[in-house]
């Protein structure tokens, strides 16, 4: 559950819109609620085209979630290298990858039992 009683659906909608706004690509939502012993309810995974793009995606997510949902992430990791940035909002965890890192870690396969929703973008 988020800190300010923002629903997961509201949080996800703001995150997806923010990613799309800065042209993040290959956005997927993994619904983990029916899997035992998961760390959260949802993963949102997106790809950026460079370190600068990955950082921009992370920045806009944090800015928009703070502004519209009054939420700050519980934890952020990876901003230094910007190959893979993780933004943890407790029940929703965002993973922003560069293409090579996303292919290497292949989170979608690791969580193969999750319901995956592909998000169309305006790119």
Q: How much is the average pLDDT of 9-23?
A: 96
Q: How far apart are CA 119 and CA 83, in angstroms?
A: 22
Number of H helices, E strands in the chain: 4, 6
pLDDT of residue 4: 57
Q: List the structure tokens of 39.
A: 């760390």
Express each pLDDT in 71-99 by its tens digit.
Answer: 999 999 999 999 999 999 999 999 999 99
What is the arithmetic mean of pLDDT over 10-23? 97
CA–chain centroid gap for 117, Å, is: 13
Whether pLDDT at 37 is above 90: no
What phi, psi does 121 have (nearest 5°)? Answer: -120, 165
Domains of the chain: 8-119 (3.30.460.10)
The pTM of the full predicted model, rounded to 2 decimals, is 0.92
Answer yes or no: are the C-beta atoms of 11 and 43 closer than 8 Å.
Answer: no
Longest distance between any two alpha carbons in the chain, whole Å: 36
**pLDDT value of residue 123:** 59
């Amino acid at each position: 559950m988020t800190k300010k009683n923002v629903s997961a659906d509201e949080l996800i909608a703001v995150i997806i819109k923010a990613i799309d706004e800065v042209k993040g690509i290959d956005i997927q939502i993994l619904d983990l609620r029916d899997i035992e012993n998961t760390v959260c309810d949802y993963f949102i995974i997106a790809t950026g085209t460079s370190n600068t793009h990955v950082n921009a995606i992370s920045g806009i997510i944090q800015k928009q979630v703070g502004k519209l949902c009054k939420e700050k992430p519980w934890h952020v990791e990876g901003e230094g290298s910007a190959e893979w940035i993780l933004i943890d909002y407790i029940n929703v965890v965002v993973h922003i990858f560069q293409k090579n890192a996303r292919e290497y870690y292949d989170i979608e396969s690791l969580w193969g039992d999750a319901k995956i929703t592909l998000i169309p973008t305006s790119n």
